[in-house]
């Protein structure tokens, strides 16, 4: 089987075309396909990372709903009143001290400090009594309708080991002045 010269030329041309196609077109498309595969894998990885991040959202939404029910406006208004109402609070504290038979009571309020959303009024208490009476008094404070935070508690043993000398600093919170101040700021802005 001998090929004619023309057949060999055509066969040579077809071989050159096949090699050129493979070298230029097929190889270029292979590189492009590998790039698409790499981008697809990267997009898949990012999508999985986003899915992990998004999986945290439903529990957060449940927690937000629980907090809304826990801190409804009616309850929160009692816990964080608009007015300072110091006299009523001090009567409640003094009553709790007396009920627990804590003696040598001294109650002093400090100067209120202001923040954008609420005001804080520090109160210092000094009294004497036994440990169980102190524990019952702290439980009373925890049960108060008003938002109260104990900042510090110092307990010293006095001359009588049965009686403890107790110093307690607490804060109560209210919103009155911060609203007044924001109203003044609004008026100042409207005048300008």
Q: Who's near 168: CB < 8 A, 6+ residues apart?
A: 124, 125, 126, 150, 152, 153, 154
Q: How far, in whole angstroms, is CA 50 from its chain's centroid?
A: 22
Contact 89, 172 (CB under 8 A): yes
Angle (nearest 5°) at CA 125 between 114 and 156: 130
The answer to whether the pTM exceeds 0.75 is no
Contact 125, 170 (CB under 8 A): yes
Closest CA to 168 of 87, 112, 108: 108
pLDDT at site 84: 57
pLDDT at site 178: 37
Contact 67, 157 (CB under 8 A): no
Got the DSSP string for 135-161?
A: HHHHHHHHT-SS-EEEEEEEEEE-SST
Q: What are the structural domain ranges in the chain?
A: 81-181
Give CA torsion, residues 162, 144, 147, 70, to 10 deg: 130
Contact 123, 130 (CB under 8 A): no
Contact 123, 169 (CB under 8 A): yes
What's the CA gap between 172 and 35, in Å, rounded? 64
pLDDT in tens, the chain (192 residues): 566 888 888 888 888 888 887 777 777 777 788 888 899 999 999 988 888 888 888 888 888 888 777 665 555 545 655 555 677 778 888 888 888 888 888 888 888 888 777 788 898 999 998 888 888 988 988 887 777 888 899 988 878 878 889 899 988 877 764 334 444 444 444 443
CATH architecture of 81-181: 2-Layer Sandwich (3.30)
In the numeric block, the tokens 């609070």 are attached to 89
Q: For the beta carbon of residue 187, count every other beta carbon within 10 angstroms.
A: 10
């Amino acid at each position: 089987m001998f090929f004619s010269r023309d057949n060999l030329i055509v066969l040579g041309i077809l071989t050159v075309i096949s090699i050129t196609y493979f070298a230029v077109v097929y190889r270029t498309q292979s590189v492009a396909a590998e790039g698409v595969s790499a981008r697809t894998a990267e997009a898949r990885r990012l999508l999985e990372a986003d899915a992990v991040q998004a999986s945290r959202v439903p529990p957060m939404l449940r927690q937000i709903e629980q907090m809304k029910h826990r801190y409804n406006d009616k309850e929160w208004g009692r816990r964080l009143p608009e007015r300072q109402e110091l006299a009523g609070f001090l009567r409640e504290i003094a009553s709790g001290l007396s009920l627990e038979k804590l003696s040598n009571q001294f109650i002093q309020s400090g100067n209120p400090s202001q923040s954008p959303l609420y005001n804080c009024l520090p109160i210092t208490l000094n009294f004497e009594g036994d440990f169980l009476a102190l524990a019952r008094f702290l439980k009373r404070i925890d049960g108060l309708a008003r938002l109260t935070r104990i900042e510090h508690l110092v307990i010293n043993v006095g001359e009588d080991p049965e009686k403890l000398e107790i110093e307690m600093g607490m804060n109560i919170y209210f919103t009155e002045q911060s609203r007044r101040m924001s109203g003044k700021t609004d008026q100042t802005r409207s005048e300008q």
